[in-house]
Structure 1
Amino acid sequence: MQSRIQRLAVTVGASLTASALAAGALVALTASSASAATVTLTPTADTRVQSNAASTNYGTSSTLGVDASEVQKTFLKFNITGISGTITSAKLRLHVKNAAGAESTSGGTWRLMSNTTWSETGVTYNNQPAIDGTTLGSIGSVAVNTWYEIDVTDKIPASGVISIGGTSASSNGADFDSRETSLDPQLVITTGTTPTPTPTPTPTPGTDPILVGAGDIASTGSGDNATAALISAMPSSATVFAAGDNAYPDGTLSNYNTNYHPSWGAFKSRTIPAPGNHEYHTTGASGYFDYFGALAGPNRNGWFSKDLGNWHIISLNSEVNMAAGSPQETWLRQDLAANTKPCTLAMWHSPLFTSGSHGPDSSVRPLFQALYDHNADVVVTGHNHNYERFAPMTPSGAVDNTRGIRHFVNGAGGSSHYNFTSVAANSQARNADTYGVLKFTLHSNSYDWEFVPEAGKTYTDSGTTACH
């Protein structure tokens, strides 16, 4: 199976040479137009049919598929609406399901269909509509847990309901996530002034920036040594984050020098920190700001931003005023408005969503709202001494697979463990007995995440998601 870093990043019909494709080269197009707008549509219906279950309907299944033996076909329906302006780009995106048997030599051929009246809960192999019409493109060899896309620009209408069908001539076809999952198919449409693209190289596979870290790190135990060893084994170019409560018990300068510095201090010069509630056991979190100095941002207020590759990284302070109109929230909105990077990750200490014993902190919602309003992609927090991953969500906690923010809690940096009290809505992965670091590989328009466990433990969690 291909590594996630080596996944295919080429659209059908893209102007790349065959030799570049063979070499796995990644090319980004930089647009000069600032007036372009992108709308991401998800299916209003999707299903598959199977020849070995000819009368079965799979309309509520989490899996779509294309295969020649047993025959599987996939049907997608989109309602193209809310589009204003000339369509300058349209891409069909599909996510290969992270399940056994999903590695494949054929992601299928995809066509427009004349039939747009089929029902998601009514289609079976016996009564399937014809997959006819314009060929949109084909997907070749695929790997699990990876997004693939087909350029359908100039092949779809500017409005109305369309149907798309997928088939494969290979007996080693592919399984895709359906709209019943958080990785549902997408039709990504960009409108506006047609940009003049200038090819610019992005990092070759294996050199995309890495951001790795945790919160709730160093006390008098050995957990921080275990997590520091994980980071030490990674490339020295990796940027490290420390998401608050970094030095126990009180975040004093002495605590930092005695507990934090002997382990995670090895990465100090390449660390993006954030303060936690234990840092504020000292007035103004003086130990935190004295230890990190300029690395903690200007003005000793606890919020700042920097860029990593195509990503904008923001460190915020959940221990001071975050209300709408506060200095921090006002700064955040201004920072987001000025950001030119396509992908955004923010971190702070206290989580808005959690299943842990420290309940959700609603006071951070204005920060989450500002990030959501500007199409941010990821929020990372700590505070609860465990690991948890949520589905992409709105600030109110509703699943939003179009522009929701994926929320991670990783307080597994080394200072004890907290149990979960109950399972919060839309929690997708949890662990409460393993120290570990959360590693992000920041691609030009997507990210891989991986929870890396301490030596001797086996729990892990990983995946890939496209930027908004």
Structure 2
Amino acid sequence: MSGRATRAALVALTVTASLLVGPPPAVAQTTTAFLASADSYVNAGSPATNYNSTNTLAVAATPTRVSYLKFTVTTLTDPVISVHLRLHTQNVSNAASPAGGTAQQVGTGWAESTLTYANRPASVGGTLGSLGKVLPNTWYEIDVTSAVNGNGTYAFSVASDNPDGAYYDSRESGTFAPRLVVLTGSSGTGDNVLLNGGDISACATTGAAQTAAIIAREPGTVMAGGDLTDSGTAAQLANCYGPTWGKFKDRTKPILGNHDYLTAAAKPTFDYFGPVLPPGKGYYSFDQAGWHIVVLNTNCSQVGGCQAGSAQERWLRADLAAHPNRCTLAQYHHPLFSSGGRESSNVRPLFQALYDAGAEIVINGHNHQYERFAPQNPSGVADPARGIREFVVGTGGRPLQSSFPEPAANSEVRNGTTFGVLKLTLSPSSYTWQFLPVAGATFTDSGSGTCH
């Protein structure tokens, strides 16, 4: 289907519906339709022939005819809920069939202008879905959710075991062009959402109140990333943290920072959170949305060190071995990597243990800034295949640090002037992130990743 590339442009169908789930306020779901960027079919009876000029997508068993479609998915920021391949049968009598076709995912390295049966792409995985009886001039859908996990390029084949098969409109038809319909969002319960922010409550400033307003409207688990108060006193927890982030205590997973230990042994903070924060240790783990999530205590001198062989490092390796989830995330206060000048090499053995176990994400605070890194190994070498993506999110409310003395290797995004919260939305094999700024601020950052 040569020539008309513009018809493969993204068609955004923003269908937003409020979900009434009670406080926090409900989230939205969005449907986006992506038109095919390439499509054609091949014929085993003429294995060297390209059928691009026919403007038809044919599927049949005698001879074997298989249709191929390619889509480019972009601009998604929320997790994928469902994906359907939509096809329209041609308005001719022989478009009807008792077996409309079965879809599989295929490789993307083909072009419609050169595609033939002889060079057709190989299948990737098993059957995604099938159509039964189809009639002329009608839309049909095949569920291909399991093959699409976020932004990227995806390709599919459709084949039929019926001798006569069916005929569908190609992308040149315009109105009846094939499309990939993607539903994104969440259920509104926040079960797959983490809201991350550290360096939160300075009693003399209003930053924590501003970021708390974000959490009030967002469902999800609150990851309070350390330095919860100025110096960890019971009075500061009650009078400064309590009226802001403390409102969400029942859905909070706390992380300990160095300021929390300015009061001996961080006892008021342990007392404030109770059993969720294991006494004397402050490191623990839990599972959520198919992910394994580890909280570590990088106030190393307070827990017997963070070095290889320390009690915490041994616990971490055992915990990771006992939870071989495909997707793993860790959060602790002190970053190994930072462009803000306050990186901590003491945590490298913990980062190493996480890397060895195939973890996806590490989230830190300590620097009162936002920074995102590309996936990298414990030595700071870029590692797209199995590296850990680190976020520094010290933007919870304490006075910000705008200076980045020297950009670190693999640093992708930096901002030191905006209070906000990092929203992570977890799917079984992928994730999306979005930095949510406080009211009146404009900086944001978003993207997606796939688990190793």
TM-score w.r.t. length of structure 2: 0.63
The 3-state SS of whatever aligns with 1:313 is: strand
AA matched with 2:151: T
Following superposition, which runs of at least 4 residues in structure 1 exceed 2 angstroms of deviation?
Answer: 65-68, 93-99, 108-113, 128-132, 134-145, 147-152, 168-173
Contact 1:112 1:131 in 2 (8 A): no
Give the counterpart of 1:267 among 229, 248, 268: 248
Native 8 Å contact 1:385 1:412 kept in 2: yes
1:67 deviates by: 5.8
Matches of residues 304-315 of structure 1 in structure 2 within 5 Å?
304-315=284-295
Deviations 1:407-445 (A, max 9, x none): 000000010111211211111111111000000111111
Would the aligned equivalents of 1:112 and 1:132 in 2 still touch at CA under 8 Å?
Answer: no
User: Residue type of the partner of 1:403?
Assistant: R
Give how far 1:300 is off: 2.3
If you compute each CA radius of gyration, which structure gives the higher value, 1 or 2? Answer: 2
The counterpart of 1:328, out of the listed 312, 318, 323, is 312
Following superposition, the deviation at residue 287 of structure 1 comes to: 2.0
CA distance in structure 2 between the partners assigned to 1:111 and 1:223 by the alignment: 47
What is the CA RMSD across the aligned residues, in angstroms? 3.9
Give the superposition deviation at 1:147.
4.0
* Map of 1:455 onto structure 2: 439
The amino acid of 2:292's aligned partner reads H
Q: Is the 8 A contact 1:372 1:394 kept in 2?
A: yes
> Does 2:263 match 1:282?
yes
Give the Cα separation in 1 of the matches to 2:348 and 2:437: 30
Which of 284, 301, 316 aligns to 2:281? It is 301
User: Is 1:246 matched up with 2:228?
Assistant: yes
TM (norm. structure 1) is 0.61
Q: Is 1:436 the counterpart of 2:420 in the alignment? A: yes
Confirm whether residue 212 of structure 1 aligns to residue 195 of structure 2.
yes
Q: Distance in 2 between matches of 1:315 and 1:435?
A: 23
Q: What is the CA–CA distance in structure 1 between the aligned matches of 2:378 and 2:194, rounded to whole Å?
A: 24
Equivalence for 1:133:
119
CA gap 1:230/1:129 in 2 versus in 1, 3 angstroms: same
Taking the aligned partners of 2:384 and 2:13, their CA distance within structure 1 comes to 26
- The one-letter code of the counterpart of 1:291 is Y
Separation (CA, whole Å) in 1 of partners of 2:153 and 2:291: 21
Letter matched to residue 440 of structure 1: L
- Contact 2:37-2:72 at 8 Å conserved across structures: no
- Give the number of equivalent residue pairs: 322
1:27-66 aligned at under 5 Å gives the runs none
Report the alpha carbon displacement of residue 292 of structure 1 after superposing the two structures with TM. Answer: 1.1
The alpha carbon displacement at 1:401 in A equals: 1.1
Q: Which amino acid aligns with 2:337?
A: F
Q: Which consecutive unaligned segments of at least 5 residues does structure 2 have?
A: 1-11, 18-30, 40-69, 77-85, 88-104, 125-141, 158-169, 178-182
Q: Give CA deviations for 1:65-116 in whole Å, capped at 9, x if unaligned.
A: 9569xxxxxxxxxxxxxxxxxxxxxxxx9984559xxxxx99x985677xxx
- How far does residue 356 in structure 1 lie from its aligned partner after superposition? 0.6
Aligned partner of 1:414 in structure 2 is 397
How far off its partner does 1:283 sit?
1.7
The answer to whether the 8 Å contact 1:437/1:451 transfers is yes
CA distance in 1, matches of 2:371, 2:386: 20
Structure 1 pair 211–111 and aligned structure 2 pair: CA distance change class (3 A): closer
1:390 paired residue number = 373
Separation in structure 2 between the aligned mates of residue 145 and residue 374 of structure 1, nearest angstrom: 24
Counterpart AA for 1:379: V
Pick closer, same or farther for the CA change 1:171–1:421 going to 2, 3 Å. Answer: farther
SS at match of 1:307: strand
| % identity of equivalent residues | 43
User: Which amino acid is the alignment partner of residue 195 of structure 2?
Assistant: V
CA contact 1:136–1:150 (8 Å) conserved in 2: no
Q: Secondary structure at the match of 1:262?
A: coil
Structure 2 CA distance for partners of 1:355 and 1:272, relative to 1, 3 Å:
same
